Structure 1
């Protein structure tokens, strides 16, 4: 009940987004294979850690690609929301893999600190340059969509951190080549891993809030209730639930206690006013209101249903 003010992206935009993801997947497969082979030959843990991160990128990009396709599928009687949350789930999985991969890298790097190994630095330098170029292209492809879509942001962060990791590996390769400082390989691995945890945790927290149907952080329920109750004829607003379905949709459902026993046409006028208020002041674009008059139920703001 209530109007939808959501602004949907065009199919063409979605097709471009999917194509960019596919190109990024192919580039990352190339980098991963090259760095695994190079890491084994050179003995560089930083290069192997970068390859492992790239492999997680491939998996995350495939998940994002599938989620992007699913999110465009139409709703049905047994899937009334369609697959609109597929991209949120993808973001959650991708953020989780970032953190897990980072922890594994730190454990391996600690072992390397105790036993630094001689590394074929020239191979490390050339392969890190390959990683910088390929990931740089992918970052540019996904940058625009990352601002407005959590799924694309998770893929973008994977690629951005991997590009930065390749830069770190390049610096390490140069230091090993010219100064024979081999412990720098393990140090750079730890730095890369800590950065992965930093960016991964923030995305993990955001996607978890959406999946758990928490109220968006920028919305204050008490402010909404106070504003709605200023509308003439509304006595009380209770049983309030506010959640974010995906990037584009924020939903509100609530019970409204009216001062008078109004008819349906009068209620529709009040509903229009409420929808406009919620959309323009709070960004809520899906509203479901249950009207009440003299009903004996709990009038608490939040009720555990």
Structure 2
């Protein structure tokens, strides 16, 4: 198996800002405590829902932080890949919690909409402003890493939706204060919940695909097979598997049937050509090829093991 390219690029892509993540955890603990107290005092469901979402953020950020630390651990005889999938698992868990929280908020918003009551809007306004500031700072801290890592993106989405939720709560607080439209509290809670479902489902789907070893959607397997088969010495490419270990490592393995019974040194030359082709054109950085000559068996591109 070749991992020549991975070690040259992986470290530069995985310098995740654990310090920024830790700061975000502390900030979200602060805002969660403040919003729970404020929600109970003011009677605002939107504020309590925002606090609940912030609490899930604290948990998700902790999961992300632990996963980031674990992902840097070295491989061993019993853990040959180390903990490289910890971040994908964290992203899956975080996405699932987003959807679960959203369902609970929809239920509570429906009940509260049928029985609206007066809310202390002044407290709601000030705490929502605090939420916007704290979550906005956390979003800025994690934005860069979220662009290249699914685990960090899950934490970033939690924080981004929280900031947007705080904006919605602020709007609701102003409407309640100046126009006494108290049912807006439930409507905003419902909007927040639906947005959580929307962003959570995409992340849940993406992380599920990686965990299930599905081929990445941007990898055209038929095109890869066609291009590899165009190499002079190669007769057929079959029994192909393509999967992601994590977001930095895409693996390709296949059986390659040769026209002639070539030597090991000749195979190394061909293997190098395949590696260069797959890395530079398809961004595949781990290649495992099983050479064959005159071997009987299925020659389909995909063979069920």
TM-score by length of 1: 0.98
In the TM superposition, structure 1's runs of 4+ consecutive aligned residues that sit over 3 Å from their partners are 10-14
Structure 2 counterparts to residues 253-264 of structure 1, below 5 A: 253-264=253-264
Q: Is the 8 A contact 1:254 1:289 kept in 2?
A: yes
Structure 2 unaligned regions, length at least 5: none
Q: Is the 8 A contact 1:2 1:271 kept in 2?
A: no
Indicate the residue corresponding to 2:11 in structure 1. 9
Indicate the residue corresponding to 2:43 in structure 1. 43
Structure 2 counterparts to residues 204-215 of structure 1, below 5 A: 204-215=204-215
> 2-side partners of 1:276 and 1:300: how far apart?
24
CA offsets 1:10-67 (integer angstroms, 9 cap, x no match): 59934xx110010000000011111111101110000000000000000000000000
SS at match of 1:223: helix
Q: Is the 8 A contact 2:172 2:188 kept in 1?
A: yes
Indicate the residue corresponding to 2:268 in structure 1. 268
Indicate the residue corresponding to 2:180 in structure 1. 180
Structure 2 counterparts to residues 224-235 of structure 1, below 5 A: 224-235=224-235
> 1-side partners of 2:53 and 2:291: how far apart?
53
TM-score by length of 2: 0.98
SS at match of 2:288: strand
1:11–1:225: structure 2 CA closer, same or farther, 3 Å change rule?
A: closer
Q: Give, in angstroms, the shift of residue 8 of structure 1.
A: 2.0
Structure 2 counterparts to residues 21-32 of structure 1, below 5 A: 21-32=21-32
> 2-side partners of 1:144 and 1:69: how far apart?
18
1:12–1:103: structure 2 CA closer, same or farther, 3 Å change rule?
A: closer
> 2-side partners of 1:9 and 1:37: how far apart?
43
SS at match of 1:133: helix
SS at match of 2:101: helix
Q: Is the 8 A contact 1:3 1:275 kept in 2?
A: no
Structure 1 unaligned regions, length at least 5: none
Indicate the residue corresponding to 1:96 in structure 2. 96
